[in-house]
């Protein structure tokens, strides 16, 4: 060998590189094993199963039928339940019975003992008592019974009056198949002034229901559970239950057409604006902030936006039963229409025609011809919505002409 010194140098460098590569590979494998063992399981991503119409914005997303993706859905939902029960040290409620027997899960939330200090009385015009549990599938051309529940705060009397003067006016209230109520909470310290005002409001309009849940943002989930309980106990024959907030404008011209469509006939589904692939807000200053301790996963399960959605009659009891065994979560729409709907194996139909969160900055009359519900940002925007709807349907004007007529295009 002519150059032993050079060969030995090359050999040393080669051995060093080999050792480095082995150490690097071993480190990567160790990190992967650590992540696999200690990172909590994530909810699977749910994608639309099939298109219901030729419009791409309308589709079903299903918590129990996506082959290869949702086979482990129940296990993942129970993962959240087990993780949170262990984190908070939650205990089963003694002698509590489940609405859905044989689930094998302990009851940790009492969903049947809400108290309503202000409620619908026997003397009031309560249409739900006249409804029966007739099946919409068995009787053709039947008018669908609809319970509308507007979630409001006790002190939001001005918003409720605005709704009564606009979309919930006399023409809607005269319909025998529609019952409207405002669900409000209680105030800290039981403010006597607000309490008296609510009682007078209910005596005048006969549409206020108060539940013993303090009106705070953190209690919105509990308040929505109370909505399910009230509908379950007071209006079980309603084929559809519409939940909306008091800043939501409801265009009944569109809604009445939608609820009679074949896609919305099943009474065992949720209907609204589907949200998929949504990530938790980790900024503590954000309104929707959720810490990693509360939700350690990177995505939420698919859910329906909470500003306005429809519940078929046969979803109420399964959702209540799911709430019984599932720890509460701060975001009510993620909790009820996402986590609990998955546990109850309830399908959801998503369409922007049912509800829209973000409306055009300059309200377009074509938009209101297409959409049943949308969120408003101010009283002015609420009134503007009502003006456009009234003009378009009163004069039967093309949407562009109505928009220019109002000078808002």
Q: If you count them, how many residues does the chain have?
A: 409
What one-character DSSP code corresponds to residue 41?
Answer: P
* pLDDT given for residue 400 in this prediction: 55
Q: What percent of the chain has pLDDT over 70?
A: 76
Entry pTM = 0.80
Q: Is the pLDDT assigned to residue 60 strictly greater than 90?
A: no
d(CA 314, CA 409): 43
CA 311 to chain CA centroid, Å, is 10
What does the block give as tokens for 175? 């319909």
Query: Would you say residue 46 has pLDDT above 50?
Result: no
pLDDT > 90 in the chain, percent: 58
Which residues are 250's β-sheet partners?
373
CB 275 within 8 A of CB 302: yes
Query: What pLDDT sits at residue 253?
Result: 92
Q: How is 217-238 classified by DSSP, letter by letter?
A: GGGHHHHHHHHHHHHHHH-TT-
At residue 166, the pLDDT reads 97
Q: How confident is the model at residue 134 (pLDDT cuts 50, 70, 90)?
A: low
pLDDT of res. 252: 94
**What DSSP character marks residue 152?**
-
pLDDT value at 108 more than 50: yes
Helix (H, G, I), strand (E, B) or coil at 190: coil
Q: Is the pLDDT of residue 110 over 90?
A: yes
- Alpha carbon of residue 152 to chain centroid: 16
d(CA 84, CA 328): 9
Query: Quick one: pLDDT at residue 155?
Result: 94
Q: Which long-range contacts (CB under 8 A, 24 or more apart) does 399-402 make?
A: 399/364, 399/365, 399/366, 399/368, 399/369, 400/365, 400/366, 402/365
Q: What pLDDT is stored for residue 40 in this prediction?
A: 37
Cα separation, 188 vs 99, whole angstroms? 31
Cβ-based neighbours of 263, under 8 Å, separated by 6 or more: 52, 53, 58, 349
Strand bridging mode 347-350 / 269-272: parallel
1-15, 54-68, 184-198, 314-328: least confident range: 54-68
**pLDDT tops 70 at residue 49:** no
DSSP β-ladder status, 308-312 and 240-245: antiparallel
Find the range with the poorest average confidence among 47-56, 70-79, 282-291, 334-343: 47-56
- Give the integer Cα–Cα distance in Å for 40 and 60: 28
* DSSP structure string for 89-111: T--PPTT---SSTT------S--
Residue whose token pair is 């969120």: 375
């Amino acid at each position: 060998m002519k150059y032993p010194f050079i060969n030995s140098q090359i050999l040393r460098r080669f051995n060093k590189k080999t050792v480095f590569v082995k150490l690097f590979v071993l480190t990567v494998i160790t990190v992967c094993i650590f992540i696999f063992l200690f990172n909590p399981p994530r909810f699977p991503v749910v994608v639309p199963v099939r298109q219901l119409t030729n419009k791409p914005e309308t589709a079903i997303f299903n918590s129990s039928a996506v082959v290869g993706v949702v086979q482990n859905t129940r296990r993942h939902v129970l993962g959240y339940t087990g993780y949170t029960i262990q984190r908070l040290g939650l205990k089963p409620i003694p002698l509590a019975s489940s609405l859905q027997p044989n689930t094998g899960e302990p009851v940790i939330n009492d969903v049947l003992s809400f108290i309503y200090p202000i409620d619908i009385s026997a003397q009031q015009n309560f249409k739900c008592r006249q409804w029966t549990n007739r099946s919409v599938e068995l009787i053709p051309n039947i008018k669908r019974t609809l319970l509308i529940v507007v979630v409001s705060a006790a002190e939001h009397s001005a918003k409720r009056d605005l709704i009564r003067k606009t979309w919930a006016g006399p023409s809607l209230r005269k319909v025998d198949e529609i019952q409207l109520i405002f669900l409000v909470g209680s105030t800290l310290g039981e403010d006597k002034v607000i309490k008296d005002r609510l009682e007078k409001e209910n005596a005048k309009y006969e549409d206020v229901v108060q539940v013993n849940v303090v009106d705070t943002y953190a209690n919105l989930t509990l308040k929505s559970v109370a909505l399910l309980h009230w509908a379950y106990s007071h209006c079980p024959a309603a084929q559809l239950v519409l939940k909306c907030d008091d800043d939501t404008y409801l265009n009944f011209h569109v809604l009445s057409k939608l609820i009679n469509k074949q896609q919305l006939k099943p009474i065992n589904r949720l209907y609204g604006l589907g949200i998929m692939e949504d990530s938790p807000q980790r900024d503590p200053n954000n309104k929707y902030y959720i810490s990693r301790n509360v939700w350690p996963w990177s995505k939420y399960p698919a859910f329906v936006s909470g500003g306005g959605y429809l519940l078929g009659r046969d979803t109420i009891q399964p959702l209540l039963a799911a709430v019984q065994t599932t720890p509460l979560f701060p975001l009510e729409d993620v909790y009820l229409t996402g986590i609990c709907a998955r546990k109850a194996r309830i399908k959801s139909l998503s369409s922007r025609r049912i509800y829209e969160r973000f409306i055009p900055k300059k309200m377009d009359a074509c938009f209101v011809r297409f959409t049943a519900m949308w969120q408003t940002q101010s009283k002015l925007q609420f009134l503007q919505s009502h003006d456009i709807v009234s003009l378009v349907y009163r004069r039967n004007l093309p949407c562009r002409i109505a928009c220019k007529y109002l000078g808002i295009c």
